[in-house]
Amino acid sequence: MDTIERRAPTTSYKRFKLRRMCGALGAEITGVDLAQPMDDELRTELNSAFLEHLVLCFPKQNISNDQQIAFTKTFGEIQPHPLYRSAEMEGYRDILVLEHKAGQFFNGRNDIWHTDMTFKEVPPKLGMLYCRAVDEGFGDTMFCNMYKAYDTLSEGMRAMLDPMKAMHSSALLQRRNNAKSYNIPIKEIPPPVIHPVIRTHPETGRKALFVNSSFVTNFVDMTEEESKSLVDYLVDHATQHERIYRHRWRVDDLVMWDQRATMHYVVIDYDADMHRRMHRTTVAGDRPF
């Protein structure tokens, strides 16, 4: 019988401890205090861990709003959400508050496989969530590895998808938002944008699948009807168990993920009276190519 070795991370780090969370993606980082300013060495090491593992989890962080913003900015410029104005934290426009309490979802429920804001011409590079309230084991967030999704498609499918482009629109987000009376209605949405179906990661050069259920309406030059089953198939393929890390939240976790090579999904399995509160920040990215 083959013996399965637990492979260590391919890089070792001076400034923190890293433990892989599962075979698909995701690593836990300990021994770093995100409340402290970053220096170049730490920033470089964190970025390289981020590029390798796609989702980094920092447990037991004690940071203020300003410190979350400062940490977010070590990776680039903050990108505000163009549509969820009602989610902006008072006094901190750079932080979105996603909350569930007493049977109500404030500012979106995210039980759909998606990558954030791909309806923008220049969608985000990374997202960060700082957990302020949760019942542990309820409302986990799942992440999937879109490099592996691409790598495990057949050669024929990859060749077919390679030149294809998809339309991304915020119409579905608007519909989901406006269906709930307690959300501020989104009145106008920007025109849809076109992105490649396979994107090249600007920092690693690796190819990743780049479609999602939230924003892709159709492939360019195809109808929505024709596109639907292929979008569904690709999302289904990307989100097989082998390509997923499921994060079980604890209060004070900070999790950051690479929007260029993952999708995520929130498991809405909590009771009506449970409180879940996340503070989200977002870093702007590059135009996908």
The whole-angstrom separation of Cα 216 and Cα 196 is 11
User: Site size for Mn ion, by CB under 5 A?
Assistant: 2
Looking at the chain, which runs of residues are DSSP E strands?
Answer: 17-20, 27-30, 55-58, 88-89, 92-101, 104-106, 124-133, 141-145, 165-168, 193-196, 198-200, 207-209, 216-219, 244-247, 254-258, 262-266, 276-284
With contact defined as beta carbons under 8 Å apart, do 79 and 117 qualify? yes
Q: Pick between residue 114 and residue 207 the one whose CB is nearest to ligand OGA.
A: 114
Our answer to whether residue 53 is catalytic in this structure is no
Smallest gap, in angstroms, from Cβ of residue 48 to ligand OGA? 24
253 binds Mn ion (CB under 5 A): no
Closest by CA to 35, choosing from 63, 74, 76, 77, is 63
Smallest gap, in angstroms, from Cβ of residue 286 to ligand OGA? 19
The whole-angstrom separation of Cα 249 and Cα 129 is 10
116 binds Mn ion (CB under 5 A): yes
**Tokens encoding 74:** 């070590």
263 binds ligand OGA (CB under 6 A): no
34 binds ligand OGA (CB under 6 A): no
- Partner from Mn ion, ligand OGA, none binding residue 57, C-beta < 5-8 Å depending on class: none
User: Site size for ligand OGA, by CB under 6 A?
Assistant: 10
Q: Pick between residue 45 and residue 116 the one whose CB is nearest to Mn ion.
A: 116
Binding flags for ligand OGA, 68-107, as an x/- string (CB under 6 A): ------------------------------x---------
Give the SS3 label for residue 143.
strand
Closest by CA to 115, choosing from 244, 265, 242, 218, is 265
Which residue in 168, 207, 264, 279 binds ligand OGA (CB under 6 A)? 264
With contact defined as beta carbons under 8 Å apart, do 248 and 239 qualify? no
The whole-angstrom separation of Cα 7 and Cα 180 is 46
Looking at 92-240, which runs of residues are DSSP E strands?
Answer: 92-101, 104-106, 124-133, 141-145, 165-168, 193-196, 198-200, 207-209, 216-219
Q: Pick between residue 49 and residue 263 the one whose CB is nearest to Mn ion.
A: 263
- Partner from Mn ion, ligand OGA, none binding residue 27, C-beta < 5-8 Å depending on class: none
Our answer to whether residue 114 is catalytic in this structure is yes
- Partner from ligand OGA, Mn ion, none binding residue 141, C-beta < 5-8 Å depending on class: ligand OGA
Burial class (CB in 10 A: 0-12, 13-18, 19+), 134: buried
110 binds ligand OGA (CB under 6 A): yes
Active-site residue among 81, 100, 201, 264? 264
Stretch that binds Mn ion, among 17-25, 47-55, 65-73, 114-122 (CB under 5 A): 114-122
Active-site residue among 53, 81, 116, 260? 116
Residues that bind Mn ion (CB under 5 A): 110, 116
Residues that bind ligand OGA (CB under 6 A): 98, 110, 116, 127, 129, 141, 264, 266, 278, 280
Give catalytic residues, as residue numbers. 114, 116, 264, 280
